[in-house]
Structure 1
Amino acid sequence: MAPNPTPPAEPQDNPDGYVGLDAARAERLARDRGWSTVRALAPGTIVTMEYRFGRLNLEISDGVVARAWKG
């Protein structure tokens, strides 16, 4: 049986630190800190629940990050 693959490392970064930032600034900062995927979402957007290593989700309301979470 083949071993389970090792998932890529995620940045040691707290998503809560993005809340309140301008959306464009938050996305640049996240990429600078090593997030491979940054997903901007409108409030109430339906998203799948699979966890993706290296992805940061940003809920954007009126151009500002209202919520941020990994995966």
Structure 2
Amino acid sequence: MAPIPTPAPEPDDAPGGYVGLDAGTAERQARDRGWNTVRTLPPGAIITMEYLRGRLNFEVADGVVRRCWKG
């Protein structure tokens, strides 16, 4: 039987700290802090609800992060 994979831990990072930042700056900081995937979405975007470990989501309006969450 194959071993059960152990996913890498997520970065110890508070998503709320990205709110209010310029989208480009926020993405660079997130990648520097270890996030594998950074997804930028417009307000009200229709998205799937699966949780993807290592992904950080930004809701961006007028070039500024308005909301941020893991998964």
Q: TM-score, normalised by structure 1?
A: 0.93
Offset, 1:57: 0.1
Q: Which aligned segments of 4 or more residues in structure 1 are displaced greater than 3 angstroms?
A: 1-4
Alignment map for 1:13-24 (pairs within 5 Å): 13-24=13-24
Q: TM-score, normalised by structure 2?
A: 0.93
CA–CA distance in structure 1, aligned partners of residues 19 and 30 of structure 2:
12
Alignment map for 1:26-41 (pairs within 5 Å): 26-41=26-41
Gaps of 5+ in 2: none
CA–CA distance in structure 1, aligned partners of residues 4 and 49 of structure 2:
21
User: Aligned Cα RMSD in Å?
Assistant: 1.1
CA–CA distance in structure 1, aligned partners of residues 3 and 59 of structure 2:
36
CA–CA distance in structure 2, aligned partners of residues 65 and 26 of structure 1:
8
Count, aligned residues: 71
